[in-house]
Amino acid sequence: MIIIPAIDIIGGKAVRLYQGDYRKKEVVGNDIFDIAKGFEKSGAKYIHLVDLDGAKKGKLVNKKIILNLAKELTIPIEVGGGIRNYKEVEELINHGVSRVILGTAALEDEEFVSRVVRDFGDKIAVGVDCKKGYICTRGWLEESNVHYIEFCKRMENIGAKNIILTDISKDGTLEGTNISMVKQLKEYVSVNIIASGGVKDYYDIKKLNDLDIYGVIIGKALYSGNIDLKEAINLCR
């Protein structure tokens, strides 16, 4: 299992939200490039970037920062937040982004997902963001009546290879990750699963590692000092 440190961006700064609430924003760093280079230096094999302005607006807002990171870092990055058309996916991949995350677009336009998966293969990930088991979209502001397992099975059927599963109620809380949700999904799909939301300590990492999933995204626990990135990476070797 790989450890993927997260950088969420609002107004060009690194932030953390509490349960996806834009009103509960904490700035954790002004220089995103420095944070990313620090993660790289600590041995990260991947970095997870989310343009939260973009998720709200429906198009990438902090694109310049993201493309600069793709150019300057020696490790791959995955990017999400407001990416809802083919041209944007293509541009990001052509400029060195290793994986593009589709959230709202995946729920609202399966034909689009099918097309990008066909053309870009495992460079596409589907972001499955849930509250009480049901998918939320548009920067987590809108709730749907689509259950996450049903949705993930549909995504697997159209060829998606990577799913990022987030329990919004856990995100940014340091209350521990939703292990049972991840475990349940693993019984129904055979894609790469990346767990996200609420990871608080090494015990969480160990439990996820025992499930033999592809990866885990860690945000607040790194910024708060609960988890040391090097130590977390060593734990999963």
Asked whether the CA dihedral 208, 209, 211, 215 is positive or negative, the reply is positive
Cβ-contact 193, 214 below 8 angstroms = yes
Cβ-contact 113, 155 below 8 angstroms = yes
Q: How far apart are CA 103 and CA 135, in angstroms?
A: 9
Q: Which of 129, 167, 171, 204 is catalytic?
A: 129
The yes-or-no answer on residue 31 being catalytic is: no
- Cα-only R_g, the chain: 16
Q: How far apart are CA 215 and CA 1, in angstroms?
A: 5
Which residue in 216, 219, 177, 168 sits closest to 198, CA to CA?
177
DSSP string, 60-123: -SSHHHHHHHHHH-SS-EEEESS--SHHHHHHHHHTT-SEEEESHHHHH-HHHHHHHHHHHGGG
The yes-or-no answer on residue 129 being catalytic is: yes
Residues annotated as part of the active site: 8, 129
